[in-house]
Chains A and B, each alone.
Chain A
């Protein structure tokens, strides 16, 4: 495929789309599919056909529109968004194309939830059909790849990525340009590019959404990476719990191969690149890069000590670039618009945007993409609408099991890697769980410790046995049978795990405990000294059982 051919395809597709007077986009990402959006789409198609509007109106399955809690979501070419569309509503939706918006189904879009977003990663989500490569190409897809192959040397590509200031979205925020440059300098018989799509944090679904809504964007990012570091083979490690993402990735790979965008001598360049899928079996620790690599190699997915880092000795002992889905999803826009453009967005050390999965005690739950540096208050209150009527904000948990709980005092803090670390949490993969006065912070810490204990791979002693004891102690505190000594032991274990565990799982497992101890120590004390749970959560079950 040459750049001219790509333009041709884009033009043809755009013309075809212009041929339709009306368009109805139905979300067919997992959130909406789970409330029967596919049935809604069929019903709308049927209704369009019944009215003989088939030639005028395109009904398209598109990716995630963000406000998943209000699904199924449907948007139309009249510029309106409908929420909670049922199969019976199909005629009303089609009718509204001619008669004007149906107020009954209308979802307001002139609200901060939509308006305050800045979409780079999600720019095509909810707009293009994830199962048609032509639609991605018409939206400017693969032009960044063509630009990289045709106009830039590998070193220049890395320079753009470095200039952009992009940092890894998989959790740790490692500078992407630096990682690419290390892999490009490493010597090996061959090199690999791996996309980490294991997304294991409870409550996080940004990566799933991108894969389900815009899979080619990830492939394009991987292709550009392969060109930059000199890799010839790629793997996408995606958890088996994401069947729809897997299906769409398979389709995307097949289409890209057919279009000559994956394979040998892509666009008559030196680049030959093949991509394969590997399915994870649901172990959280397999998201850790060395465990993930071991799993791809067909071994037990447990981490190994680093160094050597994957960049030097990764998959099958060869230099390997491993990045997260969202990291790769940022690459095409960076190459298209230049690193400097990207670096204008965000804060001094955290550039670009971040997708957050907003959940918990907020009015609007769903996915939002915001520039780095917006405040927690903007996300939770303006966009999320704050806790529901009558509820009081208590804390927001970021970073999942490796993160922490941030109290109201820090609501005006701009969100970036540095600030989150300063207050004892992490960016993580972008989960954001809002909690109100009905959450007991000890109980929250126990929930995450339970997760870490059962997801520990069992290889190193501090993590394997330490998480067990920490969970046991937290359990005793919530049972209100713990003593001050237990609390001291809990703190001792926090320090031990943080400093001696082999991998990030154990090293960061204490974070939820440490951060709740830091900001909500009085709750721990109340459980231990007064034997009461201030939030009234702990012991509720027993009371219910024993009256």
Chain B
């Protein structure tokens, strides 16, 4: 009896799917090959529900729910791709493009950027909000890595991987609203950070060209994420 209750069945986009209790809508959707756009979530890190791209409609709830943190429930009916949701997603991506200076043509991550590929996938051909063109810093003081705030979308994956996986907590966020930015230590140059172990995990979880390795030219920065599922799996096994 108790075991049976651990499995939930629900409908996503009209399809009947089953899920383990405690799974999120996003996890179940991915298992079933249903695409939901995301930027802030990354398997192996905690979820913050910040990018708002994964919002879905759940029947019976007035508010849209972030799929990355919403747990499945028995008989739930989820819609992941209505016209309304598509409109919101495009608007959110557009807002990201206006916020900093995302110039793909000269970016180290051109062609390997999650922001760019999502925009292509959602068929964003132009941005109808005004660009902000802020002056953003580039910190190249670290011997192997660079942080380019022009490309940062504040997904905070670097902050989370550094705290949760590496255990260094070199990265954090300072400032509020449009002035928020990721910082190393107490907003000191990355190169002189006392806490950075130089592991490079932050660079490889970064979805855009904000964090990159030195010496990479346009389109050369490939990110390798394999370590993350591997590490989390090892830890889980260790725990059980």
Out of A468, A500, A502, which one reaches B88, CB within 8 Å? A500
Instruction: Say whether B180 faces chain A, with CB atoms less than 8 Å apart.
Output: yes
- Binary A-proximity of B162-173 (CB < 8 A = 1, otherwise 0): 000000000011
Max chain B CB contacts within 10 Å: which of A460, A466, A472, A502?
Answer: A460
Out of B63, B96, B132, which one reaches A461, CB within 8 Å? B96
- Binary B-proximity of A453-488 (CB < 8 A = 1, otherwise 0): 111111111101111110010000000000000000
Secondary structure class of chain A's binding surface, majority of residues: helix
Out of B92, B132, B154, which one reaches A458, CB within 8 Å? B154
Give the distance in Å from the alpha carbon of A500 to the alpha carbon of B96 in the complex: 14
- A484 → B minimal CB distance (Å): 14
A469 touches B98 (CB 8 A): yes
B177 touches A461 (CB 8 A): no
A499 touches B88 (CB 8 A): yes
Residues of B within 8 A of A501 (CB): 52
Residues of A within 8 A of B147 (CB): none
Instruction: Say yes or no: A453-B92 contact (C-beta < 8 A), given A465-B98, A501-B52, A502-B52.
Output: no
B178 touches A462 (CB 8 A): no
A500 touches B52 (CB 8 A): yes
Max chain A CB contacts within 10 Å: which of B52, B88, B128, B172?
Answer: B52
Give the distance in Å from the alpha carbon of A36 to the alpha carbon of B64 in the complex: 52
Instruction: Say yes or no: A456-B48 contact (C-beta < 8 A), given A461-B96, A465-B98, A465-B99.
Output: no
Instruction: Say yes or no: A457-B177 contact (C-beta < 8 A), given A304-B48, A305-B66.
Output: yes
- Binary A-proximity of B41-66 (CB < 8 A = 1, otherwise 0): 00000001111100100000001101
Give the distance in Å from the alpha carbon of A210 to the alpha carbon of B167 in the complex: 44
Secondary structure class of chain B's binding surface, majority of residues: loop
Instruction: Say yes or no: A502-B178 contact (C-beta < 8 A), given A465-B95, A496-B88.
Output: no
Instruction: Say yes or no: A469-B177 contact (C-beta < 8 A), given A305-B49, A461-B50, A496-B88.
Output: no
- B186 → A minimal CB distance (Å): 13
Q: Which residue of A lies closest to B99 (CB)?
A: A465
Instruction: Say whether A190 faces chain B, with CB atoms less than 8 Å apart.
Output: no
The total of chain A residues at the interface (CB under 8 A) is 30
B52 touches A461 (CB 8 A): yes
Residues of B within 8 A of A464 (CB): 99, 154, 177-178, 180
Instruction: Say whether B176 faces chain A, with CB atoms less than 8 Å apart.
Output: yes
B98 touches A283 (CB 8 A): no
Q: Which residue of B lies closest to A503 (CB)?
A: B49
Residues of A within 8 A of B172 (CB): 300
Residues of A within 8 A of B179 (CB): 458
Give the distance in Å from the alpha carbon of A304 to the alpha carbon of B52 in the complex: 12
Give the distance in Å from the alpha carbon of A468 to the alpha carbon of B96 in the complex: 12
Residues of B within 8 A of A460 (CB): 49-52
Give the distance in Å from the alpha carbon of A70 to the alpha carbon of B7 in the complex: 66
Q: Which A residues between 135 and 183 are near B, CB-CB below 8 angstroms?
A: none
Instruction: Say whether B103 faces chain A, with CB atoms less than 8 Å apart.
Output: no
Instruction: Say yes or no: A461-B176 contact (C-beta < 8 A), given A489-B128, A500-B64, A502-B50.
Output: no
Max chain B CB contacts within 10 Å: which of A304, A305, A489?
Answer: A305
A469 touches B180 (CB 8 A): no
Give the distance in Å from the alpha carbon of A454 to the alpha carbon of B129 in the complex: 20
Q: Which residue of B lies closest to A466 (CB)?
A: B95
Residues of B within 8 A of A472 (CB): 130
Instruction: Say whether B14 faces chain A, with CB atoms less than 8 Å apart.
Output: no
Q: Which A residues between 214 and 269 are near B, CB-CB below 8 angstroms?
A: none
Instruction: Say whether B175 faces chain A, with CB atoms less than 8 Å apart.
Output: yes
- B49 → A minimal CB distance (Å): 4
Give the distance in Å from the alpha carbon of A502 to the alpha carbon of B68 in the complex: 13
Instruction: Say whether A56 faces chain B, with CB atoms less than 8 Å apart.
Output: no
Instruction: Say whether A382 faces chain B, with CB atoms less than 8 Å apart.
Output: no
B129 touches A489 (CB 8 A): yes
A456 touches B176 (CB 8 A): yes
Residues of B within 8 A of A437 (CB): none
Residues of B within 8 A of A529 (CB): none
Instruction: Say whether A492 faces chain B, with CB atoms less than 8 Å apart.
Output: yes
Residues of B within 8 A of A304 (CB): 48-49
Residues of A within 8 A of B228 (CB): none
- Interchain residue pairs A-B with the least CB separation, the first 4: A458-B180, A305-B49, A456-B177, A465-B95
B positions within 8 Å CB-CB of A: 48-52, 55, 63-64, 66, 69, 88, 91-92, 95-96, 98-99, 128-130, 132, 153-154, 156, 172-173, 175-180
A–B complex contacts, Cβ < 8 Å, 8 sampled? A460-B50, A464-B178, A465-B178, A466-B95, A469-B98, A489-B128, A499-B64, A500-B92
8 additional A-B residue pairs with CB within 8 Å, beyond A460-B49, A461-B96, A468-B99: A305-B48, A458-B178, A459-B48, A460-B50, A461-B52, A461-B154, A467-B178, A499-B63
A positions within 8 Å CB-CB of B: 283, 285, 300, 302, 304-305, 453-462, 464-469, 472, 489, 492, 496, 499-502
